[in-house]
Amino acid sequence: MAEIHLPERAVITLGGDDAEHFLQNLITTDLDRIGPAEAWPGALLTPQGKVMFEFLISRTEAGFAIETHAEDAANLTQRLTLYKLRAKVTIATEETDGVTVYTGDAPEAAVTDMRFAPAGLAVKRLPGRHGEADAGAYIALRIEAGVPEMHADYAAQDAFPHDLLFDRNGAISFKKGCYVGQEVVSRMQHRGTARRRLVAVHGAAALPGAGTTVHADGKPAGELGSVAGDTAMAILRIDRAASAESLTAGDVALTVAPYAWSGITLAGAEAE
């Protein structure tokens, strides 16, 4: 059993009679699809449809638990409280000492991280410190599965859900009705206007750090996200990547490998 402690994670809990209705009309995730012991990806968007906060959400006996980056916990709590108005909802930040990720057998109380399921990986999570920190192992795991996280792979209010494959991994719903930013997301979906996409990239040598610009025939096409040796995630202009004769990050040549589970391909994409 591999146990990886993530000290940079925090947990917010929500309860009360109106908690489910409140969240269902606010965040991108369809709460109706969250099964027992499942943690589904989701986001709170700006009215312009960009990701302001991203998180995992699961059901608890009292309501819901939201796991997010510790840097965002206070601001997300404040934002949720702002939207709460007179709704019968309680919102609290838990003292958890981070979160532990399991890639093998896990305690019964752990929840399945559904972001890894499309890639065929079984990953579970449990609040608290139950293993040793190993940032490198977790980064490699996320790159393998195509699981981006804010701060590591993109900045707040800098990406649309489609850029992050949220339209393919269950993080957003196109059927449940309105939520903040929903009109923009739906328009991108129905018009097929998403050009930036999360992909895996492989370098001919060790890749430079996150944030390095990826160039397609000398033209900026995106940036590297999390890096593990010669492999990384990157949010790229898929049309430019498809037509380029040369892709580079720094002075390292790249090849692009869209995640098979995403259904994204380079074939047929046309340059601007």
Domain ranges of the chain: 3-189, 195-262
pTM of the model: 0.94
CATH number for the region 195-262 comes to 2.40.30
Q: What is the CA radius of gyration of the chain?
A: 19
Question: Which of the 8 DSSP states describes residue 118?
Answer: G
What is the DSSP pairing of strand 111-113 with strand 38-45?
A: parallel
- 123-136 pLDDT, tens digit per residue, is 999 999 998 889 99
Q: 193 pLDDT band (50/70/90 cuts)?
A: confident
- Homologous superfamily of 3-189 in CATH? Probable tRNA modification gtpase trme; domain 1 (3.30.1360.120)
pLDDT at 131: 83
Cβ contact 4:132 at 8 Å: yes
Q: What's phi and psi for 259, nearest 5 deg? A: -70, 125
pLDDT at 270: 47
- 102-117 pLDDT, tens digit per residue, is 998 999 999 999 999 9
What is the DSSP pairing of strand 9-15 with strand 63-69?
A: antiparallel
- 160-169 pLDDT, tens digit per residue, is 999 999 999 9
* Torsion angle (degrees, nearest 10) of CA 25, 112, 171, 255: 170
